[in-house]
A and B are shown apart, each in its own frame.
Chain A
Amino acid sequence: MATETEIAEALEDYRRRCNENEKLRKMLKGWTRLIHFTCTDAPVAFTVNIEAGEITSVSPGASGTPDLVIAATSEDFADMFWGDLNPAAKYASGEIAVRGTAEDVFRVDAMAALIWLD
């Protein structure tokens, strides 16, 4: 199990890599969403703001009304944000669950796949 601090560090790294990835920025241009990452094995959550394709804030806790809710184990989140885990299979198998509109889910799928390539 990963601690809140470990996930926060991984998420900060993920934020940096997403924002530096030009292909991803282009792909998500105009996309503004509030995302909740919710751990399934610990009372830990993070709120991530994406504004016009850029991750503008990451804060602990689930605040605001999310457009998307992504649920996974703390370990999977940490591994995914560090880029050590290819989430495609876990997405597909439902171990990482995403709730939102189909369009948003497609974007999150692509985000995850693209970061994994790095």
Chain B
Amino acid sequence: MARDSGNTDVVIVGAGYAGLTAAEVLIEAGLEATVLEARDRVGGRVHTETLAGGLAIDHGGQWAGRTQYRLTALAQRHGVATFPTYDEGDNLSVRGDAIARYKGPIPNDKPEVGADEIAALLELDLMAMQVSTEAPWEAPDAEEMDSITAHSWIRDNVENEEARHGMRLLVEAVFSAEPRDLSLLHLLFYLRSGGGSTKLLTVAGGAQESRFTGGAQQVANRIAERLGQNVRLSCPVERVSYSTDGVTVSGAGFEVHGRRAVIAVPPPLGARIDWSPRLPLDHQQIFQRVPMGCVIKVHVVYDRPFWRDAGLSGQVVADSGIIKVVFDNSPADASRGVLLAFIEGDDARAWADRSQADRRKETLRALVKFFGPAAANPDAYYEKSWAAEPYSLGCYAGVFPPGVWTTFGKALRVPVETVHWAGTETATEWMGYIDGAVQSGERAAREVLQALDVPRDRWPALLPSGEAQPVTS
């Protein structure tokens, strides 16, 4: 018997942004909700470590963009300020040993390569306009587009070899997975859900525009503070028993009964829960067939952002090596210099099981190549391998390989009796981002309000969304 047993209206599994948003909506509408979180902290794939001296290191999701309306509103509501990602000066394009400076989202050191990439991105953006984010499986040619990978499309549609490589790197940077890992339909869905390639790839006006003062976990922490004892940490869920009457969620030493449940975890974690009765096949398949991206997020701390003296933004796009993407992640007051380096996709897979000392050495070697010898001796080195996190299994999000959207996509958000689904993988806007998680939590909570016949006048107002915004660039 479980030692600790309780009753509530809604049991929420996972205290990431999806689960916390769902809880906030439900509680505002006057229901009781209990959030069960496996970790000893909230935030999920958003994790801020605050170092002695106050420097906040975001090991996970960290950015907000102006068209991520829900996240922006949530941060404002909870009094968490943002500041612009450092974006002054020149970016670096690294091709082999050649290093060139450029401005803007696409390197212009090789115009014919850049032109092919721009043309390919436009073609993808235009194709994506045919893909509804509510029902991508209904797009014309959906089956065909879901039967080939992003890799195949790039191979067949981008003439210039370096541009093909560049496109692969862009996919890698956006998904922390390889183009062969995801279907063309998923790539198009993703572009559409974020508002186009320019939004996904840019800093100013795009997905990398702003950072949170004190770190991105601040917003989650504030929501959790408000929810108080309704959030229960260190409660890894092992079993969910559901019927039309209600649901029981349990683990070692706890058991919570609710009228409804919201499952707000990445798909592969859903497979680790013991479901009773077993879930319909579609959901079992989604759990098995949507693997997580693979990324190791590295922070290298210096006494000051020395690269700024040379007129560099700190942003790098490299065609080879362990580190292919770099950002300046210094605090707003530039009291320290912090470089954020991503080890993504195949690189993360190759390096995940090596020693930290090896990764540190190789990362510093790359940073010295980009920024000179001053990069060789940092004050500190931090890294987070998300694949090694038992309660995430990877980052940034689950990626949809061929066949998943068209075969199982319809079931993605469909409740199973009293069980509802949230998590950024179930979002229609900004899937894979924090904003998508927020949207999914709000949507799942409103499904519950509907199902439990909570009068409409008690429902909190919808968070602002992209749909309400005018179409402008």
Q: Are B473 and A108 in contact (CB under 8 A)?
A: yes
Nearest Cβ distance between residue A112 and chain B, in whole angstroms? 9
Bound complex: CA A96 to CA B191 (Å): 22
- The verdict on A88 contacting B104 (CB below 8 Å), with A99-B472, A105-B471, A105-B472 known, is yes
A116 within 8 Å of B by Cβ? yes
Q: Are A86 and B202 in contact (CB under 8 A)?
A: no
Interface of B is mostly: loop
**Besides the contacts A113-B118, A117-B106, what 12 more A-B pairs have beta carbons closer than 8 Å?**
A86-B103, A89-B202, A96-B473, A99-B471, A100-B471, A106-B122, A106-B129, A107-B126, A109-B196, A113-B106, A114-B119, A117-B118
Q: Are B205 and A116 in contact (CB under 8 A)?
A: no
Bound complex: CA A93 to CA B105 (Å): 13
B interface residues (Cβ-Cβ under 8 A, vs A): 87, 103-106, 108, 111, 114-116, 118-119, 121-123, 125-126, 129, 196, 198-199, 202-206, 209, 470-473
Q: Name the contact of A102 in the complex, choosing from B108, B114, B123, B129 (C-beta under 8 A).
A: B129
Nearest Cβ distance between residue A33 and chain B, in whole angstroms? 14
Q: Are B198 and A109 in contact (CB under 8 A)?
A: yes
Nearest Cβ distance between residue B131 and chain A, in whole angstroms? 12
Q: Are A102 and B471 in contact (CB under 8 A)?
A: yes
Residue from A97, A98, A105, A110 with most neighbouring chain B CB atoms (10 Å): A110
A91 within 8 Å of B by Cβ? yes
Q: Are A110 and B122 in contact (CB under 8 A)?
A: yes
A61 within 8 Å of B by Cβ? no
Q: Are B104 and A107 in contact (CB under 8 A)?
A: no
Q: Are A103 and B126 in contact (CB under 8 A)?
A: yes
Q: Are B111 and A118 in contact (CB under 8 A)?
A: yes
Bound complex: CA A27 to CA B118 (Å): 9
Per the CB 8 Å criterion, the residue count for chain A at the interface is 29
Bound complex: CA A110 to CA B105 (Å): 11
A23 within 8 Å of B by Cβ? yes
Q: Which residue of B lies closest to A101 (CB)?
A: B471
Q: Name the contact of A91 in the complex, choosing from B116, B129, B198 (C-beta under 8 A).
A: B198
- The verdict on A97 contacting B473 (CB below 8 Å), with A110-B119, A117-B106, A117-B115 known, is yes
Q: Name the contact of A93 in the complex, choosing from B122, B129, B204 (C-beta under 8 A).
A: B204
Q: Are B472 and A97 in contact (CB under 8 A)?
A: yes
Q: Are B106 and A91 in contact (CB under 8 A)?
A: no
Residues of A within 8 A of B103 (CB): 86, 89
Residues of A within 8 A of B115 (CB): 23, 114, 117
Chain A window 35-58, contacts with chain B (Cβ cutoff 8 Å), 1 for yes, 0 for no? 000000000000000000000000
Q: Name the contact of A88 in the complex, choosing from B105, B111, B126 (C-beta under 8 A).
A: B105
Bound complex: CA A118 to CA B115 (Å): 9
Q: Are A114 and B118 in contact (CB under 8 A)?
A: yes
A26 within 8 Å of B by Cβ? yes
Bound complex: CA A27 to CA B470 (Å): 26
